[in-house]
Amino acid sequence: MAQLKISPSRMNDSTLVADVDDGVVDLEQDLAAIFGIPQNTVISAALFEVVAAGLKSLLLQDAAAVPDAGHNFRRNGKGLQFYDGTKAQDIVQAFDKDRSAVAVENTVVPTNIYSITVPANTLGTDHVLEFDIYGFYSLLGLAEMLIEFLFGGTVAASIIVVGSSTEGVLDDFIALKATLFVDGATDAQKMYIRGEVGNIKLDPSGGTNHAGFRVADGPTSDVSHWTAALTKDSTSGQIFSVRVTFSAAAPTNRITRETVFARRM
């Protein structure tokens, strides 16, 4: 490890110009060694932000490469990575957090309960975005709620929540998850989705008229599946959104999105 060799002595009336020059050269060499900077290299931007209270931030330029044994921590595009001794690892980053409530009710117009622009190059060629959405929903009788997941304006996947003629659904919990990941290129993506409701409403008469997610073998309390391949150009900004459409307009056909958490890896 390089060490500063700053002399404890100070200049006085007998200090020679040559002594000062030698000290400056030694200091320059030591600082260059500590920070890994080739000597006589002009640094056009600050490396640190320092305020009166101390070091405030590190200003990282895009290394455009993954860290390795000689470079343990780097900014690569929009992500931060570190070398764990074997390979480069992504540092999980918060992508979005929204605690504001969004309610959709008494309408048959398709309406977003969540929408965000994924900035250009956020996905790169190997990154993943995860979205977790939580809220409550109600359905009157046999009403249905179509939930669609879109990326770049294209519906990637959809699921349907159904009601029950024998027992309505009132303010039941619903959780939605979407995982958007790159499929090896900036214009190739896939999405995995999952939905869960607090509890399935069973038909009290013993029949099959249950409430929950519609699947081939009847309503269920959870559902998940992969989407077809997407071909959106992620080097440009693309919108990810979740929208709902009710089969009938009624005050008791509603959903309230309470919280959204999103992560980038």
Q: In percent, how much of the chain has pLDDT > 70?
A: 80
Q: How confident is the model at residue 79 (pLDDT cuts 50, 70, 90)?
A: confident
DSSP-based three-state secondary structure for 34: helix
Residues in Cβ contact with 213 at an 8 Å cutoff, skipping those fewer than 6 apart: 159, 160, 161, 162, 195, 197, 219, 220, 221, 222, 223
Residue 2 has pLDDT above 50, yes or no: no
DSSP-based three-state secondary structure for 186: coil
The average pLDDT across 107-124 equals 95
* Chain center to CA of 34: 35
- On whether the CB atoms of residues 131 and 260 are closer than 8 A, the answer is yes
Q: What pLDDT sits at residue 115?
A: 98
- On whether the CB atoms of residues 79 and 93 are closer than 8 A, the answer is yes
- On whether the CB atoms of residues 112 and 155 are closer than 8 A, the answer is no
- On whether the CB atoms of residues 112 and 242 are closer than 8 A, the answer is yes
Q: What pLDDT sits at residue 42?
A: 75
Check residues 145 and 68 and name the one with the higher pLDDT. Answer: 145
Check residues 12 and 197 and name the one with the higher pLDDT. Answer: 197
Q: In percent, how much of the chain has pLDDT > 90?
A: 38
Residue 265 has pLDDT above 80, yes or no: yes
Q: How confident is the model at residue 230 (pLDDT cuts 50, 70, 90)?
A: very high
Lowest mean pLDDT among 163-167, 179-183, 254-258, 261-265: 163-167
Residue 5 has pLDDT above 90, yes or no: no
Residue 65 has pLDDT above 90, yes or no: no
Residues in Cβ contact with 12 at an 8 Å cutoff, skipping those fewer than 6 apart: none
The DSSP 8-state label assigned to residue 230 in this structure reads B
Residue 76 has pLDDT above 60, yes or no: yes
Q: How confident is the model at residue 70 (pLDDT cuts 50, 70, 90)?
A: low
- On whether the CB atoms of residues 181 and 190 are closer than 8 A, the answer is yes
Residue 135 has pLDDT above 70, yes or no: yes
Check residues 91 and 70 and name the one with the higher pLDDT. Answer: 91
Q: What is the pLDDT of residues 197-206, one digit of tens each?
A: 876 555 455 4
Check residues 253 and 217 and name the one with the higher pLDDT. Answer: 253
- Mean pLDDT over all residues of the chain? 82
**Angle, alpha carbons 144-148-151 (nearest 5°):** 175
Check residues 133 and 59 and name the one with the higher pLDDT. Answer: 133
